[in-house]
């Protein structure tokens, strides 16, 4: 993969996430195309189709075909294109790591075990985001 902004080879998305202290399996397996601007820290991840991903702690994240946010050490903020199910589907606005925990801000703050997101998983295609 070539970074369109810098014109150089880029690392796999799970490797980029690990470099920023985020779980490698946060995005679905087929989210392999992304753009990351190292100066502004803006991350744009492209996913072939909107999908749900289930994790080993029984949580589910819903991904749109384009997810954007700002990636810093242990944090992905100002997220667009990502939802989680609390009682209803709620927009995720930030993800922050802290030790063995991953904190999701989605209207209300939700904390989950980090190890549930370390393995890259397949998404299940959905009709409506």
Q: What confidence tens digit (pLDDT) does each residue in 72-126 have? A: 999 999 999 999 987 778 889 999 999 999 998 887 667 788 888 888 888 888 8
Domains and CATH numbers, the chain: 13-122 (2.30.240.10)
Give me the pLDDT at residue 98, please: 92
- Please tell me the distance from the alpha carbon of residue 105 to that of residue 109, in angstroms, as a whole number: 4
Q: What is the pLDDT of residues 23-76, one digit of tens each?
A: 999 999 999 899 999 999 999 999 999 999 999 888 999 999 999 999 999 999
pLDDT at 10 over 90: no
- Please tell me the distance from the alpha carbon of residue 2 to that of residue 77, in angstroms, as a whole number: 24
- Please tell me the distance from the alpha carbon of residue 9 to that of residue 18, in angstroms, as a whole number: 17
Residue of 4 and 116 predicted with greater confidence: 116
| Terminal CA-CA length for the chain | 27
Q: 70: exposed, middle or buried (C-beta count within 10 Å: 0-12, 13-18, 19+)? A: middle
Q: Which residue matches tokens 């903020």?
A: 77
Q: Work out the pLDDT band at 2, boundaries 50, 70, 90.
A: very low
- Record the pTM: 0.78
């Amino acid at each position: 993969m070539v970074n369109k902004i810098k014109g150089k080879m880029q690392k796999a998305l799970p490797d980029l996430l690990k470099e920023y202290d985020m779980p490698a399996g946060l995005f679905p397996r087929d989210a392999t195309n992304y753009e990351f601007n190292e100066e502004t820290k803006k991350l744009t991840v492209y996913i072939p189709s909107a999908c749900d991903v289930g994790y080993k702690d029984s949580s589910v994240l819903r991904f749109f075909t384009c997810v954007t946010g700002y990636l810093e050490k242990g944090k992905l903020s100002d997220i667009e294109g990502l939802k989680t199910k609390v009682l209803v589907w709620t927009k995720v606005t930030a993800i922050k790591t802290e030790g063995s925990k991953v904190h999701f801000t989605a209207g209300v703050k939700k904390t989950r075990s980090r190890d549930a997101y370390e393995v890259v998983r397949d998404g299940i295609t959905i009709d409506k985001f």
